[in-house]
Structure 1
């Protein structure tokens, strides 16, 4: 039961994706297509915008 919950709540693959998206695939493990490149580009932009917004919110909260 606990193993199932650990597997269900594991976020390791999510962090692996975040780190994988910002580096080039030199080994050729993952498929390459125009749609996939565009999806990764949009994901990069959204991750960066999210981090900038979190930084702005924390600085506004800290300056009060």
Structure 2
């Protein structure tokens, strides 16, 4: 039971996707249609916006009196 929960909560695939989106597919391992390229482009934009927002929120929280 604990192994199932541990497997469900693993974040390894998230980081694998994160690095795959920001790197080029040199081996031709993944399909590359126009729709998929656009989806990955939108995901890049949303990841960057999320990280910028997270940095702003942390700095605002840290500089509050």
Which residue does 1:22 correspond to in 2? 22
TM-score (ref. length: structure 2): 0.92
TM-score (ref. length: structure 1): 0.93
Which runs of at least 4 in structure 1 moved beyond 4 Å after TM superposition?
none
Give per-residue Cα distances to partners, 1:14-47, cap 9 Å, x unaligned: 1100111000000111001000000000000000
Cα offset, 1:3, TM superposition? 1.6
Q: How many matched pairs?
A: 64
